[in-house]
């Protein structure tokens, strides 16, 4: 991928690459604001999201992982903590696999990984919800602990916002629609990741269940699985104080 992603940077300290999910960069904005108080936070907009260009060579999630590793290396960044939400967690897992000892290119750029309700693997008995088949109400019911509080009727949204959401969904479908939201071989390969991993999961997530999250954590050689009560697929938005505390502990440790 040759197109440079749109990137926001803030704060000083350990580099943190913050990777958003299918909803776009606004879904991780509170995380970026908090982390910038103690870290150097880089928050890209994935190419093809929020009206940005998606290069023709960007065909799968692994291509994004390669592009972000290249970005970090060109900037000379080391000891990077990668934090990824949903689809962003999948990108982060692919990055750690490619970068760490025993991975595909033996680098040492990524030294920590936090997955927040990530997708990307297949787990028997814990199927991922087909978000493309859900209407707005169904998506809210699957995504939030308190869907009535967070549901937004699409009929109330301006045309530009509806177009942004459609464009994001189209890009996500192109990169991760077939096979749906996972790489069939990724789960087995994650054993080669040698950096510490924190897997945070909303207890009420029905897009990717806590059982799916626990299986994700078990796939790594060194991972902790922590559930967040009163939260669904985006625990950093429903229970930010809990997620912030866990991230602060990772940065301090």
pLDDT digits (tens, 9 = 90+) for 192-210: 999 999 999 999 999 999 9
DSSP one-letter string for the chain: --SPPEEEEE--SEEEEEE--TT-GGGGHHHHHHHTTTEEEEEEEPTTSTT----TT--SHHHHHHHHHHHHHHTT--SEEEEEETHHHHHHHHHHHHHSTTSSS---SEEEEEEES--BS--TT-PPP-GGG--HHHHHHHH-SSHHHH---GGGS-HHHHHHHHHHHHHHHHHHBTTBTB-TTHHHHGGG--S-EEEEEETT-SSS-HHHHHHHHHTSSSEEEEEETT--S-HHHHSHHHHHHHHHHHHH-
Give me the residue label for tokens 């669904």.
232
| pLDDT in the model for residue 107 | 54
Q: For the chain, what percent of residues have pLDDT higher than 90?
A: 94
Identify the weakest region by mean pLDDT among 4-8, 147-151, 236-240.
4-8
pLDDT, average across residues 214-223: 98
| pLDDT in the model for residue 102 | 39
| pTM of structure | 0.95
Q: Is the pLDDT of residue 2 over 90?
A: no
How far is the first Cα of the chain from the last one, in angstroms, to the nearest whole number? 34
Name the fold adopted by 6-252.
Rossmann fold (3.40.50)
Q: Is the pLDDT of residue 1 over 60?
A: no
Residues 87-114 pLDDT 10s: 999 999 999 999 955 344 445 799 999 9
| pLDDT in the model for residue 246 | 98
Q: Is the pLDDT of residue 23 over 50?
A: yes
Q: Is the pLDDT of residue 248 over 80?
A: yes
pLDDT, average across residues 20-46: 97
Residues 173-189 pLDDT 10s: 999 999 999 999 999 99
| pLDDT in the model for residue 4 | 78
Domain boundaries, the chain: 6-252
Written as six digits, the tokens of 76 are 């000379």
Instruction: For residue 179, say if its preceding peptide bond is cis, omega within 30 degrees of 0.
Output: yes
| pLDDT in the model for residue 108 | 75
């Amino acid at each position: 991928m040759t197109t440079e992603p749109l990137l926001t940077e803030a704060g000083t300290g350990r580099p943190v690459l913050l990777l958003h999910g299918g909803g776009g960069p606004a879904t991780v904005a509170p995380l970026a604001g908090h982390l910038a108080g103690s870290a150097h936070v880089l928050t890209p907009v994935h190419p093809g999201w929020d009206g940005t260009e998606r290069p023709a060579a960007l065909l799968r999630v692994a291509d994004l992982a390669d592009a972000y590793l290249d970005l970090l290396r060109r900037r000379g960044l080391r000891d990077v903590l990668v934090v990824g939400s949903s689809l962003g967690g999948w990108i982060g897992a692919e990055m750690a696999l490619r970068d760490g000892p025993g991975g595909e290119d033996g680098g040492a750029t990524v030294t920590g990984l936090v997955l927040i309700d990530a997708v990307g693997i297949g787990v028997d008995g814990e199927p991922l919800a087909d978000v493309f088949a859900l209407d707005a109400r169904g998506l809210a019911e699957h995504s939030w602990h308190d869907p009535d509080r967070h549901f937004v009727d699409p009929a109330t949204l301006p045309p530009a916002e509806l177009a942004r959401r459609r464009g994001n969904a189209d890009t996500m479908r192109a990169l991760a629609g077939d096979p749906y939201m996972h790489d069939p071989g990724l789960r087995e390969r994650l054993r080669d990741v040698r950096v510490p991993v924190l897997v945070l999961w909303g207890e009420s997530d029905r897009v990717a269940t806590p059982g799916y999250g626990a299986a994700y954590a078990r796939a790594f050689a060194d991972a902790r699985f922590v559930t967040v009560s009163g939260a669904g697929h985006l625990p950093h938005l429903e229970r930010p104080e809990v997620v912030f505390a866990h991230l602060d502990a990772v940065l301090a440790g």
